[in-house]
Amino acid sequence: MTAGPPPAGGRPARAVPADGPGAPLVLGLLLRWARTPVLVRVLLVYAAARLVSAAVLAAVARFQEPSDWTPEGAGYRDMLGLWDATWYRRIAEDGYPGAVPRDGAGAAQQSELAFYPVLPLLVRALGAAGVPFETAGAAVALLAGAAAAVGAHLVLERAARAAGAGAAVARRAAWSGAVLLCVSPPSLVYQVPYTEGLALALLTGFLLALLDGRWLTASALALLLGLTRPVAVPLSAVVVVHLLVRVRAARRAAPGGAPARPAGRDLLRAGVLLASSAAAAGLWPLTAWWLTGERDAYTATMGAWRADGRVEWLRPWWDVSQYLLGDVAGPLALVALVAGYAALLLSRRAAVLGPELRAWCLAYPGYLLLVLDPFTSLFRYLVLLFPLGGLVALRPGRRGTLWALVAASLALHVVWVAWLWRFSPPADWPP
């Protein structure tokens, strides 16, 4: 086929690439993104997700009705102080009560004693410099959430490599887990005065120290976590699994499979780790006892949030399953759900997480199943199961699956904020 005549002026027209004039720009951005250190990319994803959360919260604020918590025409900053943030404000400004508040019949009432002290103490430190509570609380949560996102990537990659996964699989698992942590439906809690981001930062630090064999560091972080959120009980299960794995590896490495004799220093460090992880679970209940002089100060206060005024093991889940699906189908569905989840974590596919992360993903929901009433705050509690996001990297068509989950998470994020974070007076479901 012959070429047409040149355009007026005698110079041939410059050919436009088939991909359009923007193709070089897109390619350049992709190359720059690929060359960016992976932890910087995690932080960029985290920052973008927090901008989305801020935009959603600002939009939802326009529909917030006036209440004891929010004024007429509430704005973004007003929305930061809703729900449990009010309890943390009271602790940061006034401290804890010296006795368990009770009604005329002697039943414990809701009070600050149900809320752990690390977050309000950090906020109080900023408040002493003149920073308003909402700003200080949001700053602590934002920084802790960023540390948690980076920590999740480091933990998942380290665990996958230790489990024998190839470098590429380990990188993919770490990336998908960190990204999904950043965009999860309740991820607004990483920028409001709540403790999930802080607990995640300490949890990932604990797991990373554990995997690296820095047991004394892990012990200190376990104790801090025991004063941040009521999630320290499952840590003991993770520690036991980790030590058993180490003993088994030592036996395999010993000549002829002879029992290995750990050094006295290792035994001491292991003992400190076990003791610290166990003590972390009772640290705040004991502190509440010391503050009030009442042995059951913490458990009695926690019971004030329950329908029957006390904490019951497992029964609320059974009752709710029967309420939703019937007396027979409900419990059967609950058992099937628990069994299916356990089978997934114990399967070969989940081996990429390594024994410690699998132990956490089994022990933590098991703990929630035992002590928690199933209600709307469960969505928020489940963000601590961040290792499950790493399994997305193993699915066929993993990239499409990951970005589909990101899109779904962001859509559900809008639903979560509009449905649960927005308060409809006089009473509403908590986030």
Q: Which two tokens stand for residue 83?
A: 């729900």
- For residues 381 and 372, is the Cβ–Cβ distance under 8 A? yes
Nearest CA-CA partner of 384 in 199, 213, 169, 113: 199
Nearest CA-CA partner of 98 in 304, 300, 293: 293
- pTM of the prediction? 0.91
Q: Which two tokens stand for residue 400?
A: 């499409």
Instruction: Find where tokens 């690439």 sit.
Output: 17
Instruction: State the DSSP string of 61-129.
Output: HTTPPP-SSS-TT--HHHHTT-TTHHHHHHHHHH---SS--B-TTS-B---GGGS-SHHHHHHHHHHTT
> Buried b / exposed e across 245-255, counting CB within 10 Å, b at 16+?
ebeeeeeeeee
How many Å apart are CA 25 and CA 105, to the nearest integer?
A: 71
pLDDT reported for residue 55:
97
Q: Per the domain annotation, does 10 fall within a domain?
A: no
Listed in sequence order, the DSSP H helices in 193-311 are: 196-211, 215-225, 233-253, 264-292, 297-303
Q: Which two tokens stand for residue 373?
A: 């009433």
Q: Per the domain annotation, does 275 fall within a domain?
A: yes
pLDDT reported for residue 307:
72
How many Å apart are CA 349 and CA 393, to the nearest integer?
A: 11
pLDDT reported for residue 260:
56
Q: How many CB atoms lie within 10 A of CB 64?
A: 23
Q: Within 13 Å of residue 180, how many CA atoms lie on the same side as its CB? A: 26
pLDDT reported for residue 431:
94
How many Å apart are CA 386 and CA 176, to the nearest integer?
A: 10
- Total tally of structural domains belonging to the chain: 1
Residue 348 makes CB contacts below 8 A (sequence gap 6+) with none
> Buried b / exposed e across 337-352, counting CB within 10 Å, b at 16+?
eeeeeeeebeeeebbb
Q: Which two tokens stand for residue 420?
A: 């649960």
Q: Per the domain annotation, does 180 fall within a domain?
A: yes
| Domain ranges, residue 287 | 36-421
Kind and range of the H or E element at 308?
Answer: none
Q: Per the domain annotation, does 351 fall within a domain?
A: yes
Q: Per the domain annotation, does 17 fall within a domain?
A: no
Point out which residues pair with 102 in neighbouring strands. Answer: 108
pLDDT tens track of the chain, all 431 residues? 444 444 444 444 444 454 555 567 677 666 776 778 999 999 999 999 999 999 999 999 999 999 988 998 899 999 999 999 999 999 999 999 999 999 988 889 999 999 999 999 999 999 989 999 999 999 999 999 999 999 999 999 999 999 998 899 999 999 999 999 999 999 999 999 999 999 999 999 999 999 999 999 999 999 999 999 999 999 999 999 999 998 888 777 766 555 555 566 778 888 899 999 999 999 999 999 999 999 999 999 998 888 777 778 888 899 999 999 999 999 999 999 999 999 999 999 899 999 999 999 999 999 999 988 888 999 999 999 999 999 987 766 667 889 899 999 999 999 999 999 999 998 889 99
pLDDT reported for residue 153:
98
Q: How far, in Å, are 3, 15, 166, 392 from residue 346 at the CA level? A: 66, 58, 20, 16
- Size of the chain in residues: 431
Q: Per the domain annotation, does 13 fall within a domain?
A: no
pLDDT reported for residue 76:
94
- For residues 197 and 250, is the Cβ–Cβ distance under 8 A? no
pLDDT reported for residue 308:
74
Q: Per the domain annotation, does 12 fall within a domain?
A: no
pLDDT reported for residue 312:
82
Point out which residues pair with 108 in neighbouring strands. Answer: 102
- Rounded to a whole number of angstroms, the distance between the first and last alpha carbons of the chain is 68
Q: Per the domain annotation, does 15 fall within a domain?
A: no
